[in-house]
Amino acid sequence: MNMSRTLHPARSRNQPPAATEGAPVSTGSESVGQASDPYGFSEHTRGLLECAATLCARQGGRMTPQRRDVLGLILQAEAPVGAYDLLEQLRVSDRRPAPPTVYRALDFLLEHGLIHRIERLSAFVPCTHLSHEEDANAPCAPVPQPAPAGHAVSACGHEHAAYGVHAAQFLICRACGGVTEIADTPRILDMLRTVCREKAFTMQSASVEVEGLCAACAARQAVDGARKAGTEQ
């Protein structure tokens, strides 16, 4: 079943109160369950964070508080978010991680297939396969069929694999900047794998960014064009 999530450029930010001077900085040693939430993550976002922590554990990784914060902010955002914007948002918490820590967290989340980088925008979006968009309560649990070694398969059937091929396709609107991730298309991935085998090329990532106009912007441009043509007659 195909699913998609559209992220629009207009983002509302619920900024928490500024951290007090001299507040302690986390060492990252506490567990995710013990991590405080200074960002007001929604119940749905917290559920996805638990799902992500479970997937990381199956891959031998660990969802530290810093990684949780970064992923939570990306999940909660209404638009693709850049590293600089993340740093600004993270500075308001009492943990105030250093930039290298944030960049390492992003690398970890990318490696484990929990987020994607939109190269054209130099920004990050969450992987929509953490849960079914149609069912926010879908369990993040392994499916009965066996998964390859080092891979974890969520209830949606999508592999979140460290060091594996994580494929994603994005539709990017040139007019409004909206980004929609669509479900992995097996035929596209199979085609890419076939080409790579023929070229003796080892594929590590298979992200596709398609640029064009979303339905709303295409309709708006058509109306504007018709009006312009009418005034010129």
pLDDT in tens, 42-89: 999 999 999 999 988 888 899 999 999 999 999 999 889 999 999 999
- The answer to whether residue 191 scores a pLDDT higher than 60 is yes
Q: Are 183 and 170 in contact (CB under 8 A)?
A: no
Predicted local distance difference test score (pLDDT) of residue 166: 66
Mean pLDDT within 150-154: 45
- Domain range for 139 is 4-143+151-232
Residues in binding site for Zn(2+): 173, 176, 214, 217
β-pairing, 115-118 vs 205-212, is: unpaired
Check which CATH number belongs to the domain holding 208 and give it.
Answer: 1.10.10.10
Average of per-residue pLDDT across 97-108: 93
**Looking at residue 133, what is its pLDDT?**
36
Question: What's the confidence (pLDDT) of residue 181?
Answer: 84
pLDDT on residue 8: 54
pLDDT at 169 over 90: no
Name the one residue in this structure whose structure tokens are 């596209």: 188
User: What's the confidence (pLDDT) of residue 132?
Assistant: 45
How many domains are contained in the chain?
Answer: 1
Q: What percent of the chain has pLDDT over 70?
A: 67
CB-based contacts of 152, cutoff 8 Å, min separation 6: 55, 58, 59, 142, 159, 160, 161
pTM to 2 decimal places: 0.68
DSSP class of 28? S
Instruction: Output the average pLDDT for the chain.
Output: 75
Give the pLDDT score at 167: 74
Binding positions: 173, 176, 214, 217
User: CA–CA separation, 49 vs 43, rounded Å?
Assistant: 10
